[in-house]
Chain A
Amino acid sequence: MNNSRFIVSSSPHIRSEETVSSIMIDVVVALCPALIAAAYFFGFRAFLITAVSVISCVAAEYIWQKACHKPVTINDWSAVVTGVLLAYNMPVTVPLWMPVIGGFFAIIIVKQLFGGLGHNFMNPALAARAFLLASWPTAMTKWIEPFQKIPVLGDVDVVSSATPLAILKGTEAVGQAMPEYWQLFVGQIGGCIGETSVIALLLGAIYLLVRKVINWRIPVTFIATVAIFTFVFGQDGSFAGNALYHVLSGGLILGAFYMATDYVSSPVTPKGQIIMGIGCGIITSVIRLYGGYPEGVSYSILIMNVVTPLIDRYTTPVKYGEVKARA
């Protein structure tokens, strides 16, 4: 035995097998059912947009890190998650260059310029979506009906149809029939690529909860707040709102389970996570009911992302031993 060859390090000497990349891969796996649903309802172009978005995000990270002579960290899979989420927040009709711009914006402007993984103060995919929506509002809101034939590659030239929330709000497609609940649940409605199929998103969410990648606090309080708020202050008078409709439509399920729970930009304390969920829920409902847009999930999460450090600071848990000695 050669004594000089032992590793001498500070305890603990064992670590769990879970790593950043294993968590990110879990998120990608959880997002797969929604992609299959999207391809079923919106055609193969949903795959293509997602692929372009993922490749753009990974390429942006690689190029930036190479250019800055930093270690390349694309094998942590975080850029892949951003790419998938970015694509899920776009209509299937967007031109193919749009996810490229979105991907570079998300990774370079929102993530890398602030210090890379762990330092982005906002969810990169959502910030990129907000940027695209502000820059190309028409293209970012050109919805199609499920099963509507569109070209896989070239530009999509169709007349935009309405999302359920827009019909509900009554700002467009006035008088158009509202989809049935089952259509909302399976995702046979207009909307962004990854947000429409509630059942597919819930399937993935259960996987994430079981694998303990996320906990219930943010998603459950987020969704419950939207349900209560839209019921109490509903369009059809107080205590008469259509809460279930609000829960099942738009980006609420995608946002609550996959984006508001983004580790980096949400609170780490148990109380803070509940505040995050309630805050997101209130802002979403206010935008949906009183704001200029039919949907408010993305903005609500972005706003709560910004106050996350403040929430953490004021929700420090009561530590063990905050008691007086007995006489």
Chain B
Amino acid sequence: MKTLTFKGGIHPGDHKSATSQKKIETLKAPERLIIPLQQHIGAPCEPLVSVGDEVKMGQKIAESKAFVSAPVHASVSGKVIGIEPMLHPNGSKVLSVIIENDGKDTLHESVVPKGDLEKLTPKEIIDIIREAGIVGMGGAGFPTHVKLSPPSDKKIEYVIINGAECEPYLTSDHRVMLETPEDVIYGLKAIMKIFGLNKGYIGIEDNKPDAIEVLRKYASQEKGIEIVALKTKYPQGAEKQLIQAITGREVPSGGLPADVGVVVNNIDTCTAIARAIKTGMPLIRRIVTVSGSAVKDPKNYSVRIGTPFHVLFEQSGGFTEEPAKIIMGGPMMGIAQFSVDVPVVKGTSALLAFTKQEAKLWEEKPCIRCGKCVQVCPLHLLPLYMSAYARKDDLEKAEKYHVLDCCECGSCSFICPSKRHLVQSIRLAKQAIIAHRQKN
């Protein structure tokens, strides 16, 4: 198979076989759900409901007037029993609506099909996406309608759907591609329609030949949709590396994909768009891979937003041993969790539980200048120098070595034989520099 890729990157063990052949199971909604009012990048939402209100499934329960924001919907029907700050997977406390599930899944009146894709205008499609609360499902959670509304001077030439799924353990996108390929294609067509394009791309790593085959079969019935096989390498699914592999273009430093005429969206984002148009259902569920060495029965689940983490682990048969680390997302860029009582949010692609052995913290040794971090950096930076200056608090020098260009993929820390906290220190320097700029 001819594959495309970028320069640099690493090959961590992929651990995907634990769940890649397991069909998505629909997880029963729990009795109590916690729905944070900020699950996206941008302005937090204001609640539209009060404690004691009855809500229906798909009902909008919070929104913001700001453009860069995404509304939040009730993922079950039931009663609002609390609106208070609750622990969020990002580690902070976020105002959340707590719903007691009545178990009836009564649909809200607003959940009706939005009409034929052929007849919808670009503006109507963007409005449907916004109203459905759709955000990037890869993890960062950037509101999709904002991404699909670039400044008018940016001409979009490429629509790319990111099916790389390069993080180890993750198989949620893989399963979605296999089980609902028609929705993936439908979502892509909706985005192509927004930009008036007749060409669209879906990039998939070649470790998922079955997904490539299935989507190629579906794409052959459509005009202008190309399935691109990508080399299996981390971070192949990072936006900039994906764009480089497929278009050969580089996003300018500090710029956005739209600056080179590209828009990238996630696989599950496409299916969310398809559902929002076809059935009117807003984003109230997502696919989550539950895996890791401490999980008894790793699986892929379709989960209501707001379901506490422990429910998913219990459904997977609990743990083989007391887990030492819980991660939301992949092991390369995911967020370690304090608690399993926090809820699944729109960006929760996976929940991983690691045994003590797998969560092992290595002892940091001095840098031996082996240069491996330089070889693997997908942005061609010099992580060893960026980190050295960051750790000396020499932010000026760190910036000279382009810390702000770092995408925090973690390849440098992964490969480092001295087990140095490279990306970790770079991340701190980035935050310090940005905070300093905002102050002045």
Contacts and interface: CB of A to CB of B under 8 A. Distances in A.
B46 interface: no
Interface string B258-272: 011100000000000
A259 B339 CA distance: 50
11 contacts: A2-B322, A8-B337, A16-B10, A16-B416, A18-B415, A118-B418, A266-B369, A268-B371, A320-B380, A325-B259, A326-B259
Contacts of B371: 263, 267-269, 273
Interface in B337-366: 337-341, 352, 354, 358-359, 361-362, 365-366
Contacts of A1: 310, 319, 322-323, 340
Contact of B413 (A5, A12, A322): A12
A319 B336 contact: no
Contact of B368 (A5, A118, A273, A312): A118
A5 B378 contact: no
A264 B369 contact: yes
Given A9-B361, A10-B424, A320-B380, A15 B416 contact: yes
Specify the main secondary structure of chain A where it touches its partner: loop
A6 B323 contact: yes
A68 interface: no
Contact of A7 (B244, B259, B310, B361): B361
Contacts of A76: 365
Nearest to B310: A1
Using C-beta atoms within 8 Å of the partner chain, give the interface range for chain B. Answer: 35 or more
Contacts of A270: 374-375
B260 A15 contact: no
B172 to A, nearest CB: 18
Interface in A1-35: 1-3, 5-16, 18-20, 22-23
A318 interface: yes
Contacts of B370: 23, 263, 268
B378 A6 contact: no
A67 to B, nearest CB: 19
A6 B325 contact: yes
B13 to A, nearest CB: 8
B240 A320 contact: yes
Given A14-B358, A326-B261, 16 more contacts: A12-B332, A13-B331, A13-B352, A13-B359, A16-B414, A118-B369, A118-B418, A215-B375, A263-B369, A268-B384, A269-B374, A270-B375, A318-B380, A319-B405, A320-B380, A321-B379
A96 B165 CA distance: 60
A22 B371 CA distance: 16
Interface centre among A13, A18, A118, A267, by most chain B C-beta atoms within 10 angstroms, is A13
A116 to B, nearest CB: 7
A7 B251 contact: no
A23 B375 CA distance: 16
Interface of B: 10, 12, 91, 153, 155, 168, 240, 244, 249-255, 259-261, 310, 319, 322-327, 331-341, 352, 354, 358-359, 361-362, 365-371, 374-375, 378-382, 384-385, 401-402, 405, 408, 410, 413-419, 421, 423-424, 427
Contacts of A321: 240, 250-255, 379, 405
Nearest to A264: B369
Nearest to A14: B331
A325 B252 contact: yes
Interface string A165-193: 00000000000000000000000000000
Contacts of B335: 11
A327 interface: yes
Contacts of A18: 415, 417
B382 A7 contact: no
Contacts of B384: 268
Contact of A3 (B327, B331, B340, B374): B340
A316 interface: yes
A13 B368 contact: no
Contacts of B338: 3, 6, 8
A263 to B, nearest CB: 4
A202 to B, nearest CB: 22
B314 to A, nearest CB: 10
A256 B372 CA distance: 19
B368 A317 contact: no
Contacts of A316: 382, 401
B134 to A, nearest CB: 25
B310 A6 contact: no
Q: Which residue, B334, B368, B418, has most C-beta atoms of chain A within 10 A?
A: B368
Contacts of B91: 8
A63 to B, nearest CB: 20
Interface of A: 1-3, 5-16, 18-20, 22-23, 73, 76, 78, 116-119, 215, 263-264, 266-270, 273, 312, 316-327
Nearest to B379: A320
Contacts of B153: 327
- List 6 A-B pairs, minimum CB-CB distance, nearest first: A12-B410, A268-B371, A321-B253, A325-B259, A118-B366, A320-B379
A319 B402 contact: yes
A271 to B, nearest CB: 11
B374 A317 contact: yes
A20 B417 contact: yes
Given A264-B368, A321-B252, A7 B325 contact: yes
Nearest to B406: A319
Contact of A19 (B260, B379, B417): B417
A65 to B, nearest CB: 13
A212 B218 CA distance: 41
Q: Which interface residue of B253, B323, B336, B417 has the most chain A CB atoms within 10 A?
A: B417
A112 to B, nearest CB: 12
A15 B413 contact: yes
B362 A15 contact: yes
B185 to A, nearest CB: 28
B140 to A, nearest CB: 13
Contacts of B352: 13
Nearest to A119: B366
A117 B366 contact: yes
Contact of A13 (B250, B336, B374): B336
B359 A7 contact: yes
Contacts of A215: 375
A38 to B, nearest CB: 27
A23 B341 contact: no
A273 B369 CA distance: 12
Nearest to A327: B153
B322 A5 contact: yes
A20 B354 contact: no
A267 B424 CA distance: 24
Contacts of A9: 325, 336, 361
A20 B408 CA distance: 23
Contacts of B327: 11, 13
Given A12-B332, A13-B354, A119-B366, A6 B413 contact: no
